[in-house]
Amino acid sequence: MLGKSIPRSEDKRLLSGAGRYVSNLQLPNMIHAAVLRSPHASARIKGIHTAEACKLPGVIAVWTFSDLTDVLKPIPQVAPHPSLRPRTPFPLVKDVVHHQGEPVAIVAAETRAICQEALRAIEVSYEVMPVVLDAEAGLSGSAKVHEDLPDNIAAQFGQQTGDVDAALADCDCIITERFTTGRVSSQAMENRAVVARFEPNSSTARLTVWTNTQSPHLTRGLLSQQVGLPRHDIRVIAPDIGGGFGVKNRYYPEHTLIPLLAMRLGRAVKWVESRRESFLATYHGREQIHEATLGLDANGRIRAMRERLLYDQGAYVTLGIVVPHITTISVPGPYRVPNYQVECKCVYTHKAPSVPYRGAGKPQACFVMERMLDAAAAKLRIDPIEIRRRNLLQPEEFPYNTGLKDVDNTPVLYDSGNYPKCLEEVLNLIGQSSFEQEKRDAAATGRKLGIGISCFIEMTGRGPYESALVRVDPGGRVVLSVGISSQGQSHETTLAQVCAAGLEVEPSTVHVQLGDTSIISLSIGVYAARSAVMAGNAVAMATAAIREKAVKAAAAMLRVAPEALKYSGGKVTELAEPHRTLALGEIAGALNSPALVFPFPPDIDPGLEVLRFYKSTKPAYSNGAYAMVVEVDAETGHVKIIRHALVHDCGNLINPAVVETQMTGGIAQGIGGALFEELLYDRDGRVLNASLDSYFLPRATEIPSLIQSHIVTPSPFNPLGVKGVGEGGTIPVAPALASAIENALGIGVQITHVPMTPPRVLLVSRAADHQNNQSEHSLQEATKAT
């Protein structure tokens, strides 16, 4: 059952138009809500006039902060850290706006169209204030984001392994470079949405909230604090979700505001974000500035690395220092870096909060390390592939302790892998050995081809725990309830496979329930490629316990010792008399019989139902190598991907087709991020390209099919031996693309910014031409002089 590419059980409804997305939900007597957002990034609200909006027919409520002073509290951030000076938003701006798109007022009306009309009728007078546009400006102290923090620093931290100063003093080659990565928007196809209903006389949870969150339980916990209801008086349902990518794991102001409307107005309320709002108000990711120094010996072996990270936090903290901390520990990646020192400053700016977006700090780290290796290879005149071979960790070095500490102070310990094999195999897949000939042939027709390669690891399966409840029905069907939700990762299929494998039944007999706090009380959520590792192993534990209980109960039913029985194929069979068998459903029926006598020993509880938690603080590290061949148009800066290849190792595969589609999709997002995607701001901190016609996502004509293969090095850190795959694809693309572009243009390491948009490629290309012309010119001059 494990390792089979069975079709997805989700597809039956999703391909018939029966997807249960929040925006499709229609409740009786439901009204609509819309949010008025600040057009300014930094401003004080002098006054809000809502009277005209209130008068419009169909308008039910128009609220600003002053209407809700009795209940509104800052939204808590959920990852405390000693170095952190957290500033968090109120659900509606109290007096000062800290980023464009912050909610200033909320309207409820009979229809969405009336809501929009009401928003236009609200007048807000703002006193516009100076803006902090980026982390460096924040540090310069030219303006303040939060009045009480004159240095704009949200957090600073660092760590060191070995002795970097001493090691750098002893290096043959030292490279120092600065790298920057742009700010991006995740742009799931489904916008955020919240529907809330309050039933004051309900005998179960009175407040029900449907929302496309990656973490229904986290949402319930924060909502409980925000509206003052106990957690178990709230039911959060995350039905089908149209893409998450990390940003849908956060708690947003609308998660408080829509339930409050429902509670106070006595009507079900629906809010669906617009695409423009998804650019301005859904949190962003990725913006970082790096200054890195790499020291190597003459053979290209890394001796030491120093790294300084400036992290653009945006206006508020929502998840501690998680993303920048991941970057700081991820820079060494798959390479042996015996001495490493890193320091990070997180700086408040007048932009939307920066939060984990697919890859969560790892793509930037990979870009830095791979670029530094390319630069070192050029300086030492070593082949860029060879320098990687010399520094990759070897299979016999695992488990490998990097000496670094994770954000929770646990050691950063790589579990297993075969990094060199991935590199060698990807060279075969991309056709590296014949590439020089291919390049020459292309050059003969005026085409510039280039090749780029990168190696990466992906920390997956973060703790602390995940839950699974397996219940066997007397009819023989199995219901698996898990706390996690799904945003397209095929969890209903893959977790059914794990459950079916554990119970030795067909996956079609397993019905998976997920994304609803009422089906299971405790769960953490979906992020950091943790579902296969955390939820998968919880399911495996629960099925093992079901088998154990089934044998014990069967022993009582058949009046034999448990040792006389075996569990196989979803049945318990007596070894000596194989015709005596009990199917799981029969045992479940006996364990839940309404007869007055419970015919089992006192240590057996009723029902064939088991809840288990898988707890772990040891992540599993997936890894891989990625290669691409591109064609660069030196006249326009346009980059066309000719082919690309991936060799990936995520341990044991539950469903290879699901893994491959996750990797393909991750790489597609990596390509978007590497080639096109960047939020651009005007000098007042307003986004210039908050639309899909100016913020470009990759399309079918831009991404050729991915050539991919897998090697399998099971994780020794979890019973299933699995490693996560959700984020991996986004990590290696940008550095491979940068190398490939430079290779095509015949230049050294000059690309230091992500994304590599056509204008930027053109700049690099022209600078290279200029340099070539100049050196040719000075060569001619020198020849003349002699």
Partner 1 sequence: MQTRTIEIELNGKTCSRAVPVTQTLASLLREGFGLSTSISCGEGNCGTCSVLVDGQPVRSCLMLAVQASGRTVTSLEGLADQLPRLQKAFAENHAIQCGYCAPGFMIASAALLCSNSTPSEAEIREAIKGHLCRCSGYSGFVSAILDAAAHE
432 part of the interface to partner 1, by CB under 8 A: no
Contacting partner 1 (CB under 8 A), which of 693, 759, 782, 786? 693
**Rounded alpha-carbon distances, angstroms, from residue 83 to 79, 86, 157, 272, 407:** 11, 9, 6, 36, 11
Stretch of residues binding partner 1 (CB under 8 A), selected from 134-142, 172-180, 602-610, 703-711: 703-711
Task: List, as one string, the DSSP characters of 452-497.
Answer: EEEEEEEEE---SEEEEEEEE-TTS-EEEEES---SSS-HHHHHHH
The CB-of-374 to partner 1 minimum distance in angstroms stands at 26
Phi, psi dihedrals of residue 742, rounded to the nearest 5°: -65, -40
Contact 285, 754 (CB under 8 A): no
Please say whether the beta carbons of 574 and 580 come within 8 A: yes
Please tell me the distance from the alpha carbon of residue 122 to that of residue 50, in angstroms, as a whole number: 5
Q: Indicate the angle between helix axes 362-380 and 322-330, nearest 10 degrees.
A: 30
Task: Give the distance, in angstroms, between the CA of residue 602 and the centroid of all CA atoms in the same chain.
Answer: 47
For the CB of residue 688, give the shortest distance to partner 1 in the complex, in Å: 16
Phi-psi region of 445 (alpha: psi -120 to 50; beta: other; left: phi over 0): alpha
Residues 461-490, one symbol each (x = binds partner 1 by CB under 8 A, - = not), give --------------------------xxxx
Q: Enumerate residues 593-652 that contact partner 1 by CB under 8 A.
A: none
699, exposed or middle or buried, with CB in 10 Å at 0-12, 13-18, 19+?
A: exposed
Choice from 445, 705, 783, 786 touching partner 1 (CB under 8 A): 705
The verdict on 7 binding partner 1 (CB under 8 A) reads yes
Stretch in the footprint of partner 1 (CB under 8 A) among 77-85, 237-245, 494-502, 534-542:
237-245
Helix segments in 142-249, DSSP class H: 164-169, 216-227
Cβ atoms of 211 and 248 within 8 Å: the answer is no
Residue 488 one-letter amino acid: G
Q: Binding of partner 1 at residue 692 (CB under 8 A)?
A: yes
Q: How far is the CB of 464 from partner 1 (least distance, A)?
A: 27
Over the window 243 to 282, marking each residue x when it contacts partner 1 by CB under 8 A and - when it does not, the resulting string is: x-x----------------------------xx-------
Nearer to partner 1, 244 or 502 (CB): 244
First and final C-alpha spacing in the chain? 77
Other C-beta atoms closer than 10 Å to the C-beta of 129 total 16
Q: Out of 604, 657, 712, 763, which residue is the one contacting partner 1 (CB under 8 A)?
A: 657
- At its nearest, how many Å lie between partner 1 and the CB of residue 699? 5
Contact call for residues 621 and 723 (beta carbons, < 8 A): yes
Binding piece for partner 1, criterion CB under 8 A, among 406-414, 678-686, 687-695, 759-767: 687-695
Stretch that binds partner 1, among 197-205, 257-265, 667-675, 775-783 (CB under 8 A): 667-675
Decide whether 91 or 728 has the Cβ nearer to partner 1: 728
Least separation in angstroms between residue 703's CB and partner 1 is: 6
The type of residue at 663 is M
Beta pairing class for 411-414 and 400-405? antiparallel
**CB 429, min distance to partner 1, A:** 15
Q: Give 344 or 514: the residue with its C-beta nearer to partner 1.
A: 514
5 vs 159, beta carbon nearer partner 1: 5
Site for partner 1 in 706-725 (CB under 8 A): 706
Nearer to partner 1, 27 or 657 (CB): 657
Q: Does 701 bind partner 1 (CB under 8 A)?
A: yes
Nearest residue (CB) to partner 1, 77 versus 485? 485
Q: What distance in Å separates the CA atoms of residue 589 and residue 474, rounded to the nearest whole number? A: 4
Can you give the binding site for partner 1, defined by CB under 8 A?
5, 7-8, 10-12, 14-19, 21, 23-24, 26, 113, 186-191, 240-243, 245, 274-275, 487-490, 657-658, 660-662, 664-665, 667-669, 691-693, 697, 699-701, 703, 705-706
